Structure 1
Amino acid sequence: MKRNATAVWIGSLKEGAGKLTTQSKTLENTQYSFKSRFEEGVGTNPEELVAAAHSGCFTMQLSAYITETGFEIESIETKCDIDLVEGTIITSHLTVNAKIKGITDEVFQELVTKAEKNCPISKLLNAAISTTATLV
């Protein structure tokens, strides 16, 4: 399986602007700029997209592990916070709130750790990856 996205940038770093388009067209000519990345501008930015990718990938991986163990998932919500410091993403922190019928916190935490280590985006990132998970 291969997926792709395209970025087009016009102009200088601070005054220019870019557009992102994904293969699925979910993002189509979506604006990003210096202001949307480093200030409060309209549009997305690469770090926000990495956060979306990591939270989505992790949640799917956790769902697979929970399903394999035979528990019923009511809901899993994962927020990802990316820290960009001096041009490097240094951390990706996942905050998980889940409703899983019949699971113990011990089993849940084991599956969270397994998903954190094994989701493809976690494997891709050269950053400290951490997770806070709560059963509700």
Structure 2
Amino acid sequence: MKTTNTGSATYEGLGKSGKGLVSTGSGALSAQPYGFQTRFEDEPGTNPEELIAAAHASCFTMALSFKLAEEGFENGTVTTSAEVTLEKDGDGFTVTKSALATKGKVAGLAQDRFEELAADAKANCPISKLLDAEITLKTAFEG
């Protein structure tokens, strides 16, 4: 199975004074504001690291849910938060870490098995893999 999903962003103005809008192809996010002020100050809106954190938390949680289902469990709850760290790196910035914190409630499952399945889900969720994946880029420019 193969799926392709889309997202888009526009940034009007340049640098710190610019303002952007980000959307998802599904419409779940539509023209949500982002920019320097939403990333480094307290202006309402989102930022790339927050979106990565949400993507990583949701992907990992779904992967763990499927691992639990493969073990024969039918009911339960898994809740995960992700904290993505952005640090100054020379003249720019680098995402240095994504820290996942998960809680599970599955009747009849031993804690050590939950931890094993969580470690497997962390290693194999597509967003975890993406953080080390090959990235390709196509560009177009009008001057």
* Matched position secondary structure for 2:68: helix
Equivalent of residue 22 in structure 1, options 21, 24, 37: 24
What is the rounded CA distance, in whole Å, between the counterparts of 2:54 and 2:40 in structure 1?
18
Task: Quote how far apart the aligned CAs of 1:21 are.
Answer: 1.1
Q: Please state if 1:92 is matched with 2:94.
A: no
Residue identity over aligned pairs, in percent, reads: 42
Aligned match of 2:59: 57
What is the rounded CA distance, in whole Å, between the counterparts of 2:44 and 2:115 in structure 1?
37
Per the normalisation by structure 2, the TM-score is 0.85
Task: Quote how far apart the aligned CAs of 1:13 are.
Answer: 1.4
Aligned match of 2:77: 75
| Bigger share in strand | 1
Which structure has the greater CA radius of gyration? 2
Letter paired with 1:50:
I
Q: Please state if 1:4 is matched with 2:10.
A: no
Which ranges of structure 2 fall in alignment gaps of 5 or more residues?
133-143
Provide the alpha-carbon RMSD of the alignment.
0.9
What is the rounded CA distance, in whole Å, between the counterparts of 1:18 and 1:66 in structure 2?
39
Per the normalisation by structure 1, the TM-score is 0.90
Aligned match of 2:136: none
- Give aligned pairs, total: 126
* Matched position secondary structure for 1:72: coil
